[in-house]
Amino acid sequence: MLQPRDLKGRRAVSYARWSSDGQTSGDSLRRQTEAAERFCSTHGLVLDLKLKDEGVSAFKGANLEASFGKLVADIKAGVIPSDMVLLVENVDRISRVNYLDAQEYFLAVLKTGLTIVTLHDQRVHTIDDYRSNVMLLVMSLMEMQAANAYSAKISERVGSEWNNRANRARQGKVKMSKVPFWIDQQTQQLNTRADDARLIFQLAKDGVGQGAITQQLNAKGLPSPKGGQWGKSVVQDIIKSKAAYGSLVVKGDEVRDYYPPLITETEWLSIQHRTRQRVHNPQNGNTATLFPRLVHCGHCGSVMNLTSSKFGEFRYLICSGKTTKRTDCKAPNWRYESFESEMLSRVGFLAVPIPGQAAEGSADRATELADAIGALESKQGNILAGMAEATDAASRKFLLDQSAALTSEIEAKRGELIRLREEIARAEDAEACLADFEHDQQEMDRLAKEDRKEAQRLLGNLVSRIDLESDSKTLRRAMVTMRSGHTHAIVFDGTGELG
């Protein structure tokens, strides 16, 4: 069995890891690095490389994809020599996953030729020693099992603390280290920045992109939450925050009606829906078409793209499935100018009032789900309270399993509730847009010529999809799906409109 003195002259790499961001400003890096440097100085090794994984947990194996995983990959690829000596504080710096999985990975690392030294006990680990002495393997297994058990205990304790914090928040105010910039940390009421936050959500509701919102905020000289310039990622995080409609989210657990709301949940859901559409719509900045990414082939479902004829004389909507040969679609092309003209002439038909029965049914179901979630959360709160009083591990595990099962059921119902609320939000948003649309349809022709971006916005507020069908050279039909989910059929007359 190799001893530390046998490693004299070898090249070494130190690896330091700690789990939480809070430890970054603590003593972890200094302690682990100095121990490696001291070992090299004492036994004559050359410390070539210092690696660290900041705030990376080994309990679920996250570090195996971070710096440590890259080191092993580089050794396997021959980028780093396999006769290197890896210096770690103890085995749990490498992994705290289940000890059987950890042992498998640990041996695989040793099989690359790497030598590992655990500094806390000065043990030298090599694959040859493990093959010749089974007790070395048993000792490492016991250490790995202890590390995993300790992490599991800490994870359970931390998870229980977060659950308790969410439950306390439902009973009253709790002290949070971080609150939205429009909330006063002491009183947890709206502060003087509330109007700045409302502006962000109003711009998002109006269909302004996150980049443009960022530019407007900086142009107005409004300070960011940290006092400097605004960045797009900051705006993005604010728009996604459920605190906008008053919810506090504690580790994924939503505590509703906690903060004073800036907007309604319906408005927030509508903004999320619109934001997702912008992200998945690369044609939003292009005004060549008033219907970017809205038009689909009614025969194969593919997106219809705008393209020009050989000499640029005409523009056509052509099935992307046909052009890329993804499908065997033979649908004819549509002359774009004729399509746009006829669609704009039918805008009054699109502005027909939308029946609200479906939305009403969704609202009733949403109320049922919200009540059911509330009952399940109350039941889960009682179980967690029981865990705090349980005196033996078996009882705590039983209660923890019950709590986990309830969490799954709550998340499933919450997912359905979010989908229903988004459906309601789309319907209400469409109804609100109808008023704007009816008011502006008289000047749609002018907008199509002078302000195509605004024309795009008005149409996009009302329409979610258009499917074009061609039964012959002259019979053409557009199935227009509104944001409310209702569909209108528009039949086009005339000849010479297909390519």
With cut-offs at 50, 70 and 90, classify the pLDDT of residue 296.
very high
* DSSP SS3 for 268: helix
Q: Does residue 85 fall inside a structural domain?
A: yes
Q: Does residue 317 fall inside a structural domain?
A: yes
Say what the pTM is. 0.38
Question: What pLDDT is recorded for position 475?
Answer: 72
- 25 and 84 belong to one structural domain: yes
Residue 105 has phi, psi (to 5 degrees) of -70, -40
Q: Does residue 231 fall inside a structural domain?
A: yes
**Tell me, what CATH number does 361's domain have?**
1.20.58
Annotate 282-305 with b (16+ C-beta within 10 A) or e (fewer).
ebbeeeebbbbbbbbbbbbebebb
**Tell me, what CATH number does 204's domain have?**
3.90.1750.20
- 334 and 308 belong to one structural domain: yes
* DSSP SS3 for 93: helix
Residue 469 has phi, psi (to 5 degrees) of -120, 140
Q: Does residue 186 fall inside a structural domain?
A: no
Mean pLDDT value across residues 333-353: 76
- 15 and 133 belong to one structural domain: yes
Mean pLDDT value across residues 166-170: 59
Q: Does residue 260 fall inside a structural domain?
A: yes
42: left (phi over 0), alpha (psi -120 to 50) or beta: alpha
| Structural tokens at position 87 | 């210096």
- 403 and 306 belong to one structural domain: no
Spell out the residues 6+ positions from residue 442 whose beta carbon is closer than 8 angstroms to its own: none
Where a domain ends, among 152, 170, 202? 152
Question: What pLDDT is recorded for position 159?
Answer: 47
The dihedral of CA 174, 416, 403, 389: what is its sign? positive
Where a domain ends, among 152, 179, 204? 152
- 142 and 230 belong to one structural domain: no
| pLDDT tens figures, 221-257 | 999 998 888 888 899 899 999 989 988 877 667 777 7
Element (DSSP H or E) covering residue 254: strand 253-255
Query: Across-strand partners of 329?
Result: none
- 131 and 30 belong to one structural domain: yes
- 138 and 206 belong to one structural domain: no
Mean pLDDT for all residues in the chain: 76
With cut-offs at 50, 70 and 90, classify the pLDDT of residue 297.
very high
Asked if 345 contacts 472 with a C-beta cutoff of 8 angstroms, the reply is no
Q: Greater confidence, 284 or 101?
A: 101
Q: Does residue 485 fall inside a structural domain?
A: yes
Q: Greater confidence, 311 or 71?
A: 71
| pLDDT tens figures, 463-495 | 889 999 887 666 788 888 877 667 888 887 654
Question: What pLDDT is recorded for position 495?
Answer: 44
Candidate from 188-192, 332-336, 358-362, 468-472 with smallest mean pLDDT: 358-362
- 246 and 117 belong to one structural domain: no
Domain that holds residue 223: 194-271
Question: What pLDDT is recorded for position 217?
Answer: 92
CA separation, residue 85 to residues 37, 49, 108 (Å):
13, 10, 15
Candidate from 66-75, 140-149, 227-236, 346-355 with smallest mean pLDDT: 346-355
- 331 and 467 belong to one structural domain: yes
- 11 and 108 belong to one structural domain: yes
Helix axes 99-110, 134-171, angle to 10 degrees: 130
Mean pLDDT value across residues 279-283: 47
| Number of domains the chain contains | 4
Query: Across-strand partners of 308?
Result: 315
- 347 and 452 belong to one structural domain: yes
How far, in Å, CA of 125 to CA of 390, rounded? 41
**Tell me, what CATH number does 14's domain have?**
3.40.50.1390
- 230 and 345 belong to one structural domain: no
Q: Does residue 284 fall inside a structural domain?
A: no
Element (DSSP H or E) covering residue 124: strand 123-125
Where a domain ends, among 422, 438, 454? 438
How far, in Å, CA of 378 to CA of 398, rounded? 18
How far, in Å, CA of 189 to CA of 187, rounded? 5
Q: Does residue 99 fall inside a structural domain?
A: yes
Mean pLDDT value across residues 3-31: 73
